[in-house]
Amino acid sequence: MPEDEFARAAAAIAAAGRRLDRFGWVPATAGNISVRLAGDRVAITRSGGHKGFLGPEGVIQVGLDGAARRAGDRPSAETGLHCGIYRRHPGAGAVLHGHSVPATVLSRLAGETITLAGYELLKAFPGLPTHEAAVALPVFDNDQDIGRLQARIEARWEAGPAPPGYLLRGHGIYVWGADMPQALLRLEAVEFMLRCELEARRLGP
């Protein structure tokens, strides 16, 4: 039943919100979390709520165009980025967007990518069975025009293979997976590596 599917998705989103909040990755009203539903629908956090204290009313349904499925529901402005991931990547079943200190600081200092190399947790990315690898996470300038921002992200995807994640400069990170457990695994792995990179810069050569 569609209602049961949505209820399960909302419960998974609330649990993920509590986990991200525990790590300090979704302060105040920052971040958003979503799960793909059947029939070109998406369950996603409502605009303005604290992700660590989500109840059933904190999750709404939108279409893949980002429009709310119920009158009066207010999606986050960044819903379009979630929907862009689902439209482009059919295997994506959950998307996480957080605002951690490492992701925010390092994205402000980076060029077009942040390269993560030599970490055991690179195994969280597809096709990387060992630490003897490198991943270049794309970094995009943030833009209040979500359509224009999504077009730049799409252009990067068209240019060649890209990891299941990217950063917005001075803003935060987007990571996705086939389901919520995989998305959480990838986010935790990337956040650990970004924290290591930030600490290495602090300590210096």
* Domain assignments of the chain as residue spans, ordered by start: 2-203
Q: Reply yes or no on domain 2-203 having CATH 3.40.225.10.
A: yes
Q: Alpha-carbon dihedral of residues 10, 12, 18, 21, nearest 10 degrees? A: -90
- Residues making up the binding site: 97, 99
- Bridge-partner residues for 33, per DSSP? 96
Annotated binding site for Zn(2+): 97, 99
Label residue 2 by pLDDT band (50, 70, 90).
Answer: low
Say if residues 2 and 38 touch (Cβ distance below 8 Å).
Answer: yes
Q: How confident is the model at residue 171 (pLDDT cuts 50, 70, 90)?
A: very high
pTM of the model: 0.94
Write down the H helix ranges in the chain: 2-22, 79-88, 101-109, 146-159, 180-203
- Token look-up 């602090």 returns 202
d(CA 143, CA 129): 35
| Mean pLDDT in residue range 5-15 | 95
Over residues 176-201, the mean pLDDT reads 96
